[in-house]
Structure 1
């Protein structure tokens, strides 16, 4: 039987899934790796650890689940998280760790870029908000603070590009990933000269860009032998986790939006036109030649749940936290909606949309003598969802949203889905797909194999499992609490900056 292998490299794990040409999951393996926090505002990945984990998990899946069943691999499709920066030398060797999306060290560089006379033009041309998450700001930070490292760098690439380089010995970036760098012109589909001028780099110091459907890459012969697969196995460049999660949840038309809550979170819509926001609050990333994925990301989703469980619920700090979180959520169901008036601002890693404040910090508000640990637990979950709602509420000024589709391990859990429905006051749909990013990658492979004509047809193949309807009483409670949540977020902006300087 023919199958498509999908590789999703996310913040703390790689998920590798194989699908047959009917879109059915036939094999799955997962491997975890560490996120490194060497100091406040610094978030990194060891590129070698990431690649070794990808290779180990892929070999295990092929040997244990693919070869014994005589499946034939027709293609391998890649996906990864956005916004990582990895300097490499002329031989492709890493010059230190990769700086990932959650890193805030480049906030001063981002502030300086925002003050430039062409800041609006840079945002409009690249589709990426000017923020510390942006590779444009990260590269500027390296240039300003690590001049020797900057001078030794032959290319600036992402973790995905590094893994693909290890597979193929070629530096190539897909248009989706490129469009999330702040360095790529999403209109002209080429590297943006204004960004080159700021970074002090030439276009030759970035990978060649190509379509998400590109199949020009070839496996290294030695690697193909090690994996026990034909060296002419098709390598499909693929897209980003955010774009593929949207596609893999079945969202491709008007009135629909996805909410993802995994390590980070986001609200996204798909469309033929970009969102033009004067305050630069939303991203516009390329999916294919005609489709953009627009929306806003949050730094503080699953990572906050992991922080809470590790520090306050006696859960050990383990690499595969997703397997332990369901028990945590069961306890939260014992508390009524609103957590008895306890609020949580979830800004443990600063924040991206909609406030774009790297200095934002978390806090619990409204604590009284009656509050117990279970109230703090539920308030933590609700705080994350309030932050998601703050993105969605502004997004609705630009796109009509009638129905929400959930992706990610946490969002799909019943308690999360129910709270999201109650907070937004909208119908919420959970698909049958446990791994939406991998399924989105599989749909690209199925289009390449001729199963579907285009992305829109592929998206329609996604089946839905559960539907959640909002409870009006809960919605009223949440709207009252959200008003306080918003007021606190804006009123504490000066205090965020003051406390950050003491940390």
Structure 2
């Protein structure tokens, strides 16, 4: 039997799956790695650990399932999280840790760009909001702090590019990933001269840009031998996790939105036209020549819920955080909507869309003597979901959204999906057997192989047979609480800035 392999290098883990040529998932393995926070605003990962984890997970999957069942891997498709930056030397050796999307150290670079009044033109060119998450800001920060390097930076790449370089010996970045850097002109499809000048680098310090369908890379002989995959196996460059999660939700045209909630969150829509936002809140990333994925990302989703579990969960009877999380979800069900007047602002990592404020911070508002840990848990989840809703509300200013689909780790919790349906006041559909990103990689790869004639045909093969309908009474109550959530966020904006100055005092 022939099959394809999908490799998703995401924020918390690498997930490897085997798909039948019909698009059905067969096998899966996953391996995790940590994120380090040496300073409050820094978020880093060890590139070698990410690469070694990828090697190990693929080899384990091959040895446990693929080779014993005599399955032939005919193509490998890739995905990766956006906004990571890794400086490497001329030999491709990392000169430090990889800076990931949650890192906020580039705040001074953001202010410098805004003061120069280049922000409007660069946002229009690149489709990437002006924020420390942007690789443009990270590279500008690194270039202004060259003293931390022991030798010259030859190239700036993402973690996905680093893994591909180790596997193939070549630097290559897909148009989807390039379009999320803040350095790529998404209309002209080339590196932006203005952005390069601001970062003080040249295009030679970035990877060659290719289509998401590019299949010219080949595995190194030693990787081919280790994995047991023929050296001439086709490698599909693939796209970003965000674009592929949208594709994996069956969304390739207007009218629908997808909510993705994992470590972070996002609400995304697809279309042939860019969303033009004068307030610079919306991202526009490329999937293919005639398809833009637009939307907004949130910093504070699963990572915040796991923070709550680690700090307030009961580990005395459970060995794994997944068990603690399940228990917390059970306790949430016993608490009424609104957590008896407790509202949580989830901005533990600052925030991206829609407020784009790296200095925003989390808080519980309305605490009283009768509140318990279960109330805090309910308020925490509601605050995370209000953050997601705020992104959806922003997108509704530009497009009509008739139906919402959901994927990501939170989609496996029916309580969470029902709460989202009630908050949005809309029907939500899903297929919980699908892994959104993995399914997206599979559809892209199978289309490149000619199994599907185009991506529209590929998405038509998906079935979303699970649905959640909104409760009108709950929707009205949530709207009232969301109004308070929104007002608190707005009123605390000056205090967020003041607190940031106090931290540096």
* The two structures share one fold, judged by TM-score above 0.5: yes
Alignment partner, residue 263 of structure 2: 263
CA contact under 8 A between 2:127 and 2:285: conserved in structure 1? Answer: yes
Cross-structure match for 2:249: 249
- Of 131-140 and 143-152, deviating more is 143-152
Q: Deviations over 1:88-124 (max 9, x none)?
A: 0000000010000000010111121122232211001
Q: What's the offset of the Cα at 1:151?
A: 6.4
Query: 2:26: which partner in 1?
Result: 26
Give the match for residue 501 of structure 1. Answer: 501
Q: CA deviation at 1:500?
A: 2.4
Query: Alpha-carbon deviation of 1:324?
Result: 4.8
Three-state SS of the structure 2 residue aligned to 1:423 is helix
Q: 2:473 matched to which residue of 1?
A: 473
Shift of 1:329: 1.3
Partner of 2:354: 354
Deviations 1:458-497 (A, max 9, x none): 1121111310000011111100011110110010011112
Give the corresponding residue for 1:163: 163
1:37, 1:112 → 2: CA distance?
25
TM-score under structure 1 length normalisation: 0.97
SS at match of 1:344: strand
C-alpha separation in 1, matches of 2:336 and 2:428: 20
Does the residue aligned with 2:411 lie in a helix, a strand or coil?
Answer: coil
| Residue 436 (structure 1) shift | 0.8
Query: CA shift at 1:433, angstroms?
Result: 3.4
Q: Structure 1, residues 180-220: CA drift from partner, whole Å, max 9, x if none?
A: 00000000111011001101111010000000000000110
CA contact (8 A) 1:259 1:405 kept: yes
Secondary structure of 2:74's partner? strand
Task: Report the CA distance between 1:322 and its aligned residue.
Answer: 5.0
> Which residue does 2:55 correspond to in 1?
55
More moved, 360-369 vs 411-420: 411-420
SS in 2 for 1:79: strand
Is the 8 Å Cα contact of residues 268 and 293 (structure 2) preserved in structure 1?
Answer: yes
Give 3-state SS (helix, strand or coil) of 2:375's partner: helix
Q: C-alpha distance in 2, partners of 1:238/1:227? A: 20
- Taking a change above 3 Å as real, the CA distance of residues 472 and 433 of structure 1, as seen in their structure-2 partners, is same
For 2:354 and 2:454, the matched residues in 1 are separated by 32
- Once the two structures are TM-superposed, the CA of residue 394 in structure 1 deviates from its matched residue by 1.3
| Alpha carbons 1:186, 1:286 under 8 Å: kept | yes
Change (3 A) 1:127 1:151: farther
1:406 aligns with 2:406: yes
CA contact (8 A) 2:89 2:151 kept: no
- The equivalent of 1:121 in structure 2 is 121
Instruction: After TM superposition, give the deviation of residue 145 of structure 1 in Å.
Output: 2.4
CA-based RMSD of the aligned residues comes to 1.5
Q: Is the 8 A contact 1:406 1:412 kept in 2?
A: no
In the alignment, structure 1 residue 282 sits paired with structure 2 residue 282:
yes
Kept after mapping to 1: 8 A contact 2:261/2:301: yes
What CA distance in whole angstroms lies between the structure 1 residues aligned with 2:447 and 2:371?
53
Cα deviations across residues 309-365 of structure 1 (Å, max 9, x unaligned)? 00111349x998556533321221111211111100000000000000000000000
Q: Secondary structure at the residue paired with 2:404?
A: strand
Separation in structure 2 between the aligned mates of residue 80 and residue 101 of structure 1, nearest angstrom: 12
CA-CA distance at 1:146 after TM superposition: 3.2
> CA, structure 1 residues 321+440, in 2 after alignment: closer, same or farther (shift >3 Å)?
farther
What is the 5 A alignment of 1:263-412? 263-315=263-315, 321-322=321-322, 324-412=324-412
Shift of 1:412: 3.7
Task: Tell me the residue number matched to 1:68.
Answer: 68
In 1, the alpha carbon distance for the partners of 2:330 and 2:148 equals: 51
Pairwise mapping of residues 474-489 of structure 1 onto structure 2 (< 5 A)?
A: 474-489=474-489
List per-residue Cα deviations over 1:33-84 (Å, max 9, x = no partner): 0111111010000000000000000000011110001111011101010000
Runs of 5+ consecutive residues of structure 1 not aligned to the other structure: none
**Residue in structure 1 matched with residue 88 of structure 2 by the alignment:** 88
Counterpart CA distance in 1 for 2:7 and 2:364 is: 38
- Cα shift at 1:167: 0.5
2:192 counterpart residue number? 192
